[in-house]
Amino acid sequence: MNDSNLPAVSVAEVQRLISGELSLRARLGYVTLLLFALAMTAVVASLWLTEPRLPARTQIAFAVMVGIGLSWTTYATWVLTRRRVLLAGHQVIAARMAVAFTTIFVLGSLALGLWSAVGRPAYAAAAFAGVMLVVAVAMLVSSRRRFDDLMHRRRALERELSHQA
């Protein structure tokens, strides 16, 4: 060990490392990937489940595409829970994105079902999207509550500390 007590890695270096890790853009990129992967999986699964008498090779192709969609979903979820974790403020933004995206997905699927020849697969996709919308709204409510609780505690602590100062 050298005799200096100064850290070999400086405060500024660690601050740079952490600020890179905190990038909101990267987080929102993974949230977008997650939403698109889920939507793709829902659309392909809807076609697969509702189309009658599909040839075996088409069924295999659909199964592979659903597998790919689920893999991307798993990967994005892993990144967002283990690597680029979502802090309370990020969770609220991510949940709002999910609500907006799934609402468009539900409305788009319903519109396709009503005004085009797509028929049953579009309604099945709308059903999947509806489930995603319910989950997204639940996440928005819970992340908003967590954010408000933290803000409430933060203000209380700031008041207490300013009185004690």
Q: Which residues bind another protein (CB under 8 A)?
A: 1-3, 5, 7-9, 11, 14-15, 17-19, 21-22, 82-83, 85-90, 147, 150-151, 153-154, 157-158, 160-161, 164
Nearer to another protein, 10 or 59 (CB): 10
Helix (H/G/I), strand (E/B), else coil: 93: helix
Q: What are phi and psi of 142, to 5 degrees?
A: -70, -40
CB 126 within 8 A of CB 110: yes
The number of beta carbons lying within 10 Å of the beta carbon of residue 48 is: 18
Min CB(154)–another protein separation in Å = 5
Nearer to another protein, 64 or 154 (CB): 154
Locate 109 and state its tokens. Answer: 């699927």
Nearer to another protein, 63 or 148 (CB): 148
CB 134 within 8 A of CB 97: no
Min CB(120)–another protein separation in Å = 42
